[in-house]
A and B are shown apart, each in its own frame.
Chain A
Amino acid sequence: MHGRPRLKASAPPDPERVKAAEKKAALFGQLAGEVLARSAAKRYDPESLALSAKLLELHPEMYTGWNYRRTALVPVLEAGGEAAVAAVAGELALTQRALLKNHKSYSTWHHRRWVVAKGFCSLEHELQLVNMLLDGDSRNFHGWGYRRFVVQLMGTPAERELEYAALKINHNFSNYSAWHSRTVLLPVLHGTPDSSAAQAAAELTATLRAAALSADPADVTGKDQPQASEQQKQHAGQQQPQQGAAGPTPALTAAAAASAGPHVSAAATAAVPKEALDEEYELVKQAFYTEPEDQSGWFYHRWLLGCSLAHWEQARGSEAEKREREALLAVLNREQQTCKEVLDMEPEAKWALLTLTRLREVQQQVLCESDTATAAEEASGLAAQVVEGYARLKELDPLRSGYYKDAEEGRAQVVARPMAASA
């Protein structure tokens, strides 16, 4: 059992307590049996539904119980009116109690989404509720997922969600969920120039096509469509999507395709302008200085580096290439400086050393493309430092020595696309 202390077989529990537990178990079994029997008999009277509510509050993961309630709800919600509003309020209260019992219950979260998607309730209230939940458990991925669902329905601009993610990060730099959220939102904010939903949807299709093309040129159907549009329609009469920089659902859904990483879609990550990236580098630097051993910020930093690289990769072969190359080298130098500062404070800071080593690796690759003698000399100096870096990492972090060995020997490309292979 997750997190429950073990009872020793050599010290068996008091027989009275065992008996009491068995009695409780039998009562629970009786209740479950009763609910399942009424469900099978298609009994949808208030007493039967109250019994199912009691069962689900005790045991929120019992999915058949939620199915039973939904079957009873369908005609009520279809009829609409006050009865529907009251029924939805009842389900929201019940799922809230169930989530208090188990805030990781997939079936309960799904029930709440199903109910909310039908309309008849305040989305503002849902947002407040999920804020409360994330205040208490800031890494709950069900909560973050539910938040995305609610803000999509509301048509909240990506900017506002970025502010929320920043708030969570400033509260605790170790919030990987919030850093993740930024990687989803930034390409949306900068990738969609117009707030019109139609344009955003068209761009989504284009992004997906591009992703599909780069992955599988033989099979492009382009039939991928944003899923939440149906739910959005149902809320349309109740809540006007806010006009904002990013637009509603499609823009936020497009983020998934855009955030697929530099390997899949350099175009999408290059959408984040260099000035915006600089702000992100600054934010994450604060995290490094505060908690250099926390991995969240360093993973985010790798993504930022991928975005910076994408600007240069996109410019290759064009007039802008030289300018982008210089800009990239400036970023690489600045970030190396940051890592060195962290290492000055803590010489055994593994994450700073790993990042420094990778930055040097990328710089070396960039310099290798130049044919001047000084660049070649600088590159060979960097190559030696990279080998040295990985050797030291193997000592500092022996659990992952297998990975460092492969990286040292050029068999693991985590930051840069293998340029040698494409050349």
Chain B
Amino acid sequence: MVHPGRRELLGDLHASYITAFSENKTSFEFYATEHFRVSGVYWGLSALHLLGQADRLDRTSIVAWVLSCQHEGGGFGGSERHDAHLLYTLSALQILALYDELHRVDADAVARYIASLQQPDGSFWGDVWGETDTRFSYCALSALWLLNRRDAVDVQAAARYVASCKNFDGGFGCTPGNESHAGQVFTCVAALDIAGRLDLVDADLLCWWLCERQTKSGGLNGRPEKLQDVCYSWWCLSALSILGRLHWIDQQALADFILECQDEEAGGISDRPEDQVDVYHTFFGIAGLSLMGRAGLQPIDPTFALPVEVMQRLRQQHQQGQQPGKQQQEVTQ
């Protein structure tokens, strides 16, 4: 039974929470989150977009700030003082895509940075320091798709590497031989989707494993015998959605769990009921509800984690041959 104050999605309260969080510059969280602030802004802005309240953040200053996080080599750091990394390169491009400002970056330079991180076995390093993880395969393919530069890397080799991380349960780990994890399942299934290689997924086996992530609470966990957590409402659900098997879980029970995790006083969503809220769980909770078609929310694309509306606009631009980077070069030349 959902708490009486939490039966509805408290959209306005969540929007206020996100706005207030982005303005608080004195808390420990403000400093502690600096190294991934670009991702934080992407979560907050996407949540607001899904709520239809994107205009609550200042577009001009955010775009200028994101651009200031780009390094000479083409990659973006987690904030203006941090080193370039694929994780934040994707988040930066997602923010620019939300604002239809992708033409502000030199697409070829970013694509060169991403291509420089692909290894002979098809995997990707997160940055020049060599950490390998299928999360970075997703970041690379998603970012290149946004830029309409998929040909910059060996997409088939990338897909084969992701497939080599497939496990006995149909799930995926961060490198070959590592245990399946729902977060990794999203990145691998979505990467294979972008590569056009969903044939490499054992869909029935994987989706059965994913539907077993739903616990009695209605919430989803990320691995067997672990606690449920709102963020898996995105990681598991997106993969189920890509593979057409959302109906394998009890969506009403999951929606109730997410609603129960709302803070009905100050806004925001937490990992589990009565825990402290944060922007990350607020976004993934709203995104999960959006995937399940909740009224009042913009629909979200399960592969790119961007509003469907934004994806439609980008597809149209790609078809019309509007390549953001080239447009920019013409202007500056």
Contacts and interface: CB of A to CB of B under 8 A. Distances in A.
B176 A253 contact: yes
A178 B60 CA distance: 51
A208 B164 contact: yes
Given A6-B275, A144-B178, A412-B207, 6 more contacts: A174-B225, A176-B223, A227-B123, A256-B177, A303-B169, A398-B250
Interface in A408-423: 412-414
Given A25-B27, A25-B28, A261 B205 contact: yes
B249 A400 contact: yes
Given A10-B265, A67-B129, A260 B204 contact: no
A66 B123 CA distance: 22
Contacts of A4: 275-276
A176 B224 contact: yes
B266 interface: yes
Interface in A246-292: 252-253, 255-257, 259-261, 263-264
B169 to A, nearest CB: 5
A145 B174 CA distance: 9
Nearest to A40: B81
Given A4-B276, A139-B226, A299-B224, A215 B163 contact: yes
Given A110-B129, A295-B224, A255 B28 contact: no
Interface stretch (A87-95, A216-224, A338-346): A216-224
Interface string B179-204: 11100000000000000010110101
A28 B177 CA distance: 38
A192 interface: no
A24 to B, nearest CB: 7
Interface in A51-105: 59, 61-64, 66-67, 70
Query: Which one of A29, A257, A294, A399 has the highest number of Cβ atoms from chain B below 10 Å of its Cβ?
Result: A399
A180 B178 CA distance: 8
Given A7-B276, A28-B32, A64-B83, A259 B208 contact: no
B278 interface: yes
B212 interface: yes
A21 interface: yes
A326 interface: no
Given A25-B28, A261-B168, A403 B248 contact: yes
A24 B29 CA distance: 11
Given A139-B223, A216-B156, A295-B225, A412 B204 contact: yes
A246 to B, nearest CB: 13
Contacts of A398: 250
B208 A399 contact: no
B28 A63 contact: no
A406 interface: yes
Contacts of B197: 215-216
Given A1-B275, A259-B167, A296-B224, A400 B248 contact: yes
Contacts of B253: 399
Contacts of A224: 120-122, 157, 160-161, 164
A298 B272 CA distance: 27
A165 to B, nearest CB: 12
Given A1-B275, A148-B178, A399-B250, A221 B157 contact: yes
A256 B170 CA distance: 12
A296 B226 CA distance: 11
B263 interface: yes
Query: Which one of B85, B178, B207, B245 has the highest number of Cβ atoms from chain A below 10 Å of its Cβ?
Result: B178
A2 interface: yes
A304 to B, nearest CB: 10
A122 to B, nearest CB: 22
Contacts of A145: 173-175, 178-179
A406 B28 contact: no
B49 interface: no
A324 B272 CA distance: 50
B129 A26 contact: no
A211 interface: yes
A28 B28 contact: yes
Nearest to A223: B120
Nearest to B261: A6
A412 B248 CA distance: 11
